Structures are given as structure tokens and as C-alpha cells.
Structure 1
């Protein structure tokens, strides 16, 4: 699998949501004090990302630039 340019940690301004895109096509998202609140797989096509949570939930988002991700009504910045 080719490494995508968005692999790494993405965080909301208040630090409440911490979203890690792993190089193996998986993600791990923490919410508040709840580590690994959501886990699943993701795919990036261009600047768009699709998520499939291990529980069956789906979501998507868009990278505005190399350091900004809009996802689920939130703005996350690369850490």
C-alpha cells in the first residue's frame, strides 16, 4: 500500500478529538478521556477520505490542505 500524505495525528483545536490515520489503512480515534473510542479502516482518494468503523458506522471528510481536515462537522489540524 502506498503511503498517503495524510498519515499521522489530526486533532481538534480543543484537543477533545484525536484522530490518528495509520499507514496500514486503519484509523484510531480518541474522544475526550476515551482512548480508541472508534477504530476502523479508511481510504483516501485525492483530498477525500472515507471511513468504515469496525462497528459498521461510516463517515467521510475532506482535506482542505495538507494540515486541515474537515470531518463530521469538525475541523482537525495535523499535529
Structure 2
């Protein structure tokens, strides 16, 4: 009977279970709320808190009223040719466009240190690694839009 219950969940149910598993804080006994995620810096471990964070996305206003600013990796990441554009949202979701196709892939992400883990809404999972304003993910190299690294690659340097 238990195996049938999992089968009956279908794709959306599996995604919900995976999202729950990614959102549970160790030792909390339950899922983290979006407010908890913001306060935690989207899963940044205490050991990585001493690292120098990358620059914020240009044009991102500072947090108001003493609130913590969004995780430093939140913002738009693009391939050198601009064909793939991935927006990392402050709420732990991402929206990826490919060419003319907006929202080609959407899902949840979690950042621990310089590693990002994705679970898209169909249940597919992937990961990547940040190196300052460069993100290596799925065989692609993404650049923080507007960063020095992005400008240099666009100018062919």
C-alpha cells in the first residue's frame, strides 16, 4: 500500500516532496518559512559566512528597515551569448529563459557556500558552482549580468 501511495503522487507530488526535503532546516523538525530562508541567507552555512561575498547585482537597492539583504547570488545570470538567462529569485525560486522561450525551466534552488542545487518543477535536479561573478552549471558558464566578468566576455577579452 505504501508503494502505491508514492505512485499516486505523480510528478507534482514528487516535486512537492523534494521541495519539502530541500527546505527543511537541520534540527528544526519542519520546513523553513520564506522568512527563515531570507534570514539564513538561502542556506549559507555558518562556515561560509566568513567568506567575502560577491558583489550584489548592480541596481539592487540595499535592504530597508534593518532587514537582511537578499543572498549575494540573487539576480540575473546569463551565458556569454545571452541565449540562456537564469533569474535567481530571493524566495528560493529560479526562472530560466532560453532564446525566445521565457520560463523554459522553473523550480527551486538552494545555496550552500558556493554550491547551488536546483530542483525544477518537473522533478529534474542539477547543481552548479559559483566562482565570484561566474556560475558553472550544466556544462554552461553563466555570468552575473552587468558584472566585470560579463562585460569582459561580451567585449571578447
Q: What range describes the TM-score normalised by the shorter chain of this pair?
A: over 0.9
Work out the number of aligned pairs and report it. 78
Could you tell me the TM-score, scaled by structure 1's length? 0.96
For 2:112 and 2:128, locate their aligned partners in 1 and report how far apart those are by CA, in whole Å.
Answer: 11
Runs of 4+ in 1 over 2 A off after TM superposition: none
TM-score (norm 2): 0.49
Within the alignment, does 1:19 sit opposite 2:86 as a pair? yes
Task: Give the superposition deviation at 1:4.
Answer: 1.4
- In the alignment, what sits opposite 1:68? 134
Name the CA distance, whole Å, in 2 between partners of 1:48 and 1:58. Answer: 13
The gaps in structure 2 that reach 5 residues or longer are: 1-36, 39-69, 146-157
Q: 2:106 aligns with which of 2, 16, 39?
A: 39
Q: Kindly state the Cα deviation for residue 60 of structure 1 after the two structures are TM-superposed.
A: 0.4
Which of the pair has more CA radius of gyration? Answer: 2
Matches of 1:70 and 1:5, distance apart in 2: 16
CA deviation string 1:25-61 (max 9, x = no partner)? 0000001111000000000000000000000110100
Greater helix fraction, Structure 1 or Structure 2? 2
Aligned CA RMSD, in angstroms, stands at 0.6
